[in-house]
């Protein structure tokens, strides 16, 4: 039923976007002086692409700031922009791409698509210790999708982005190389700060979070992430009690909450354990600022 509904929405969106393009006349077409467009899925990707692409492209996100990538549906104007794009850079496995990518690409067959998750050591949701190297074949729904939440993965995303830009614009390859090297050094510097701060921290190595968006961050820095949600849903009373017990036993002092999720369960746990609630936004455009914000919360607990 969800697929049928999505299909109907896509037909309506395509019809609406055709009307917008027709009504726009010449205004719907890029002038020779306007920069070509690259479309990405989420805001953190825009950070990486803009850092390397510089002034050569306009970069637009399909999932805008403040939207939930699991449930977001594109608007007609975005389909117009997508049709005018030079390329699409996907992040890998998040909900929006699982729901929309195939159908969007069928309606823009000219569009080059690049997977910026290629080469990432993936975490499988159904088994904490299992990783998968590879493509999107098989059980992609089982993959932990928030790959950008670690410096190790950020370096891979940056490299994939650099290669993609060179593939679509070979004439400016040297320009992209200079900017890629600068971004790579910046990511490595951010990583060194995080490693230093966490190494010298005497606080708990465990933290709690409503939606487990910091799985790669936790893995790469030797931390334990405890998710409040249960199978993607609100925790049951029994599970909530287990979370309170885990919070106490592992001396959790920080509970991270994202803006698109309800804080009530986090508040319940906080009241019973004394853990502090900290707001974070893993979908923030400023990747390094957000990673350092998470680190500071962990070391000042």
Which tokens belong to 209?
Answer: 């979070």
Could you tell me the CA-to-CA distances from 94 to 72, 121, 144, 185, 265 in Å, in that order? Answer: 11, 16, 8, 27, 24
- The number of angstroms, rounded, from the C-alpha of 75 to the middle of its chain's C-alpha atoms is 20
Q: CA–CA separation, 161 vs 165, rounded Å?
A: 6
Stated as kind and residue range, the H or E segment containing 278 is strand 276-279
What are the backbone dihedrals phi and psi of residue 213, each rounded to the nearest 5 degrees, phi first? -90, 0
Q: How far apart, in whole angstroms, are the C-alpha atoms of residue 135 and residue 118?
A: 7
Which are the contacts of 17, defined by CB distance < 8 A and separation ≥ 6? 76, 77, 79, 80, 83
What strands lie across the sheet with 224-227, from one edge to the other?
224-227, 206-209, 254-257, 276-279
Neighbouring CB atoms inside 10 A of 289's CB total: 12
Q: What is residue 17's predicted lDDT score, i.e. its pLDDT?
A: 43
Residues of the chain with pLDDT under 50: 1-3, 5, 8, 11-12, 14-28, 32, 127-140
User: Given phi > 0 = left and psi -120 to 50 = alpha, else beta, which region is 224?
Assistant: beta
First-residue to last-residue Cα distance in the chain: 46
Eight-class DSSP state of 29? S
Q: How far apart are CA 269 and CA 278, in angstroms?
A: 13
> Given this model, what pLDDT does residue 141 score?
54
CA distance linking residue 274 with residue 267, whole number of Å: 10
112-115 and 121-123 beta bridge pairing: unpaired
Virtual torsion, Cα 68, 74, 78, 82, nearest 10 deg: 100
192: CB partners within 8 A, 6+ apart? none
pLDDT at 260: 81
């Amino acid at each position: 039923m969800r697929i049928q509904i999505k299909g109907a929405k896509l037909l309506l969106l395509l019809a609406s976007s055709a009307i917008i393009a027709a009504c726009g006349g010449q205004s719907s077409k890029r002038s020779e002086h306007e920069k070509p467009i690259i479309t990405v899925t989420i805001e953190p990707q825009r950070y990486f692409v803009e850092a390397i692409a510089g002034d050569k492209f306009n970069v637009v996100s399909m999932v805008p700031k403040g939207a939930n990538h699991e449930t977001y549906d594109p608007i007609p104007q975005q389909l117009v922009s997508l049709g005018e794009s030079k390329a699409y850079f996907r992040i890998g496995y998040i909900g929006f791409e699982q729901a929309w990518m195939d159908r969007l690409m069928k309606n823009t067959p000219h569009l080059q698509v690049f997977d910026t998750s290629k080469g990432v050591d993936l975490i499988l949701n159904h088994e904490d210790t299992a990783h998968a190297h590879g493509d999107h074949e098989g059980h992609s729904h089982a993959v932990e999708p928030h790959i950008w939440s670690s410096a190790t993965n950020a370096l891979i995303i940056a490299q994939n982005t650099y290669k993609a830009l060179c593939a679509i614009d070979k004439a400016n390859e040297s320009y992209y190389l200079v900017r890629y090297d600068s971004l790579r050094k910046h990511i490595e510097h951010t990583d060194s700060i995080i490693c230093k701060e966490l190494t010298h921290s005497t606080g708990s190595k465990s933290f709690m979070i409503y939606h487990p968006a910091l799985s790669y961050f936790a893995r790469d820095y030797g931390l334990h992430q405890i998710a409040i949600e249960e199978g993607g849903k609100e925790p049951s009373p029994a599970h909530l009690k287990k979370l309170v017990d885990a919070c106490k036993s592992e001396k959790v002092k920080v509970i991270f909450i994202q803006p698109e999720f309800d804080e009530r369960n986090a508040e319940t746990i906080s009241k019973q354990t004394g853990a502090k609630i900290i707001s974070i936004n893993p979908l923030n455009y400023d990747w390094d600022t957000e990673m350092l914000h998470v680190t500071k919360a962990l070391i000042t607990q």
